[in-house]
Structure 1
Amino acid sequence: MDRLIDGFGRRFRYLRLSVTEVCNFRCTYCLPDGYRKTAGPAFLGVDEIGALVSTFQRLGIEKVRLTGGEPTVRKDIGQIIARVAEVPGIAKVAMTTNGWNLHRHVADWRAAGLTNLNVSIDTLDRDGFTRLTGHDRLHQVVAGLDQALAIGVPTVKVNAVLLRDSLENGFAEFAEFVRRRPVAVRFIELMRTADNAAYFTDQHVSGERLKTWLGQEGWSPRPRASDDGPETEYEHPDFAGRIGLIAPYGAGFCDGCNRLRVTAQGLLRLCLFGQGGVNLRDLLTGEAEASNLLAARIAQALTGKASGHELARGQAGDTRNLAQFGG
């Protein structure tokens, strides 16, 4: 069954599932004052996640990414990975993490079924990393990434938010980082949210700066896979890894949207920078009838998906910060 097609002909095979809003880092562009608990329902449990993913798979989803917050603050994250991986038809189980305990647990997560790993490393400068995240853990994070490569996690990528303060020398340093590592480093344009207006004004840099640098250094774009996110990746014959760009402010960014989002409380978000969401949680019982109703609710919700976000007009919807819905 393949029913996840919106009114603009876009087909959705990729689900980003937030499993928590909690994060233990204090990144300057997201949670500079740290996570602060707000009133609301508990986060989805393992059984609810299993029921959710099973129904989405029936509708054509093939790839699931576990996000947060920081998903690994959940003690049952290994169980969650295993539950998603055991759903027939889910070909890729991905996770995005800040890497704080990656070196201790990545082997267990791989054994549970993890196939794709994204690690957030915004700078390779130790002092800069500490200033950005509030933690002096760059060495441990990189060690965890290298361990993931060593044990054979099929796809390992690095996410780096493009910031004015870390721009100088940053591209060249990350290029050296991937010279012998088969890793894709994707620079992500800083996005405006409700809580970071002043920071955005001070730190936003256009992705065109990276494109210009890549062209000057002999990097060339590579084709996208059908379940890739919105990045454009570049390769170079002298480097084992790749460098990519996610540029949400670029023209046509939403034209090839292939992802849906579900929050940690079970709300379907049709756009990261939209408003509200469609409640799915009441139907996550695992029963056949509930699954059929859930599938119908999801398909109906897609009829209301907009053609794109309104970031260029300074409208971030009700997104306070990226930890809220998983980025």
Structure 2
Amino acid sequence: MSRLEDGFGRRFHYLRVSVTEVCNFRCTYCLPDGYRKSGPQSFLTPDEVDRVTRAFADLGVSKLRLTGGEPSVRRDLPEIIARVSATPGIDKVALTTNGWNLDRNIAAWRDAGLTNLNVSIDSLDRAAFQRITGHDRLESVVRGLDQALAIGVPTVKVNGVLLKDGVQDGFDAFADFVRERPVAVRFIELMRTGDNAAFFADQHIPGGRLTDWLQARGWRPRPRAFDDGPAVEYAHPDYAGRIGLIAPYAPGFCDGCNRLRITARGKLRLCLFGELGVDLRDLLQGDDADALKARIQAALVGKPRGHRLAEGISGDTRQLAQYGG
């Protein structure tokens, strides 16, 4: 039972830890001009990740996701995965990656203890993938995903941002993609951030476009697990995989929130689209676990009921790579 509860009765079993703000892709909706260094890259060390993981595990967190930026830019990522997976109480160790050199790294990550893999693929059209990401690497990314399935990574998922330009053809292509692959493809509604206002105005479409498409073709929603993220996934008897939607603009989206975030610089982020954060870095450099857990629990008093995206307010989030999405 989680000991992490906010003022609205929500319990938290799921922690996302960003290990870097650096990303080597230039996605149109996030970092169209590429990563720009804004200060010293004093990101969390393996020891600090270990300490924050143990504190949250003691408080009832059982699922931890490593994010970025792009986490694989860190050469010590296998060590971080191994240390997280060895933490008592952590049952699931997940990673979100853009798939850069996934085919070279996935075996080492699996051996280190990775249980859940999310790969970002915004289009299955090679030219569109290159246009969105700035890199012609679709084939190697898919090869890495298929390798993850082949070596037995327990859970493999695909994340794609829902963009106006790719709606109809994109749905058809991803349905074919999961016909034989036991993976979940989740489309994420494009979210307004501090840096993407013009792109958002041009490319945002509501998630109902996807759910209408799915239901018209016989796809049906499946039950959610207690530690699932925010996606609603749909299944079909003729397909090995699933298709889902993360719809942050839907009414009540935040009511079932079960996740917290640690930034790459050691702040506890109560909401992706909130303001500031609670600094834990000083306590991550020592061994006072009780003080660390007390600060975490005290911080939950300030967690808001929900974000304000529908009002065009995205907090101080400039782009999603900043806090790990």
Sort the TM-score into its range (normalised by shorter chain).
over 0.9
The answer for the alignment partner of 1:185 in structure 2 is: 185
The answer for the alignment partner of 2:317 in structure 1 is: 319
The answer for the alignment partner of 2:205 in structure 1 is: 205
Percent of residue pairs bearing the same amino acid type: 70
- SS of structure 2 residue aligned to 1:33: coil
Distance 2:185 2:2 in 1: 32
How big is the shift at 1:193? 0.1
Distance 2:90 2:233 in 1: 24
How big is the shift at 1:167? 1.2
How big is the shift at 1:39? 1.3
Distance 1:265 1:3 in 2: 24
Residue pairs, 1:95-244, within 5 angstroms = 95-244=95-244
Residue pairs, 1:11-160, within 5 angstroms = 11-40=11-40, 42-160=42-160
Distance 1:26 1:41 in 2: 19
Distance 2:285 2:215 in 1: 52
In the TM superposition, what whole-angstrom CA distance separates every residue of 1:124-169 from its partner, at most 9, and x where no partner exists?
0000000000000000000000000000000000000000111131
Distance 2:111 2:220 in 1: 35
Query: Which ranges in structure 1 are unaligned for 5 or more consecutive residues?
Result: none
In the TM superposition, what whole-angstrom CA distance separates every residue of 1:76-107 from its partner, at most 9, and x where no partner exists?
00001001001011000000000011000100
- SS of structure 2 residue aligned to 1:147: helix
Distance 1:72 1:296 in 2: 32
The answer for the alignment partner of 2:279 in structure 1 is: 279
- SS of structure 2 residue aligned to 1:84: helix
RMSD: 0.8
How big is the shift at 1:284? 1.1
Matched, 1:302 2:312: no
Runs of 4+ in 1 over 4 A off after TM superposition: none
The answer for the alignment partner of 1:247 in structure 2 is: 247
Which TM-score applies when normalising by structure 1? 0.98
Query: Which ranges in structure 2 are unaligned for 5 or more consecutive residues?
Result: none
Amino acid aligned to 1:276: L
How big is the shift at 1:70? 0.2
In the TM superposition, what whole-angstrom CA distance separates every residue of 1:216-269 from its partner, at most 9, and x where no partner exists?
100000000000001100000000000000000000000000000000000000
Q: Which deviates more, 126-135 or 276-285?
A: 276-285
Q: Which deviates more, 124-133 or 167-176?
A: 167-176
Amino acid aligned to 1:268: L
Distance 1:174 1:41 in 2: 37
Q: How many residue pairs get matched?
A: 325
- SS of structure 1 residue aligned to 2:160: strand
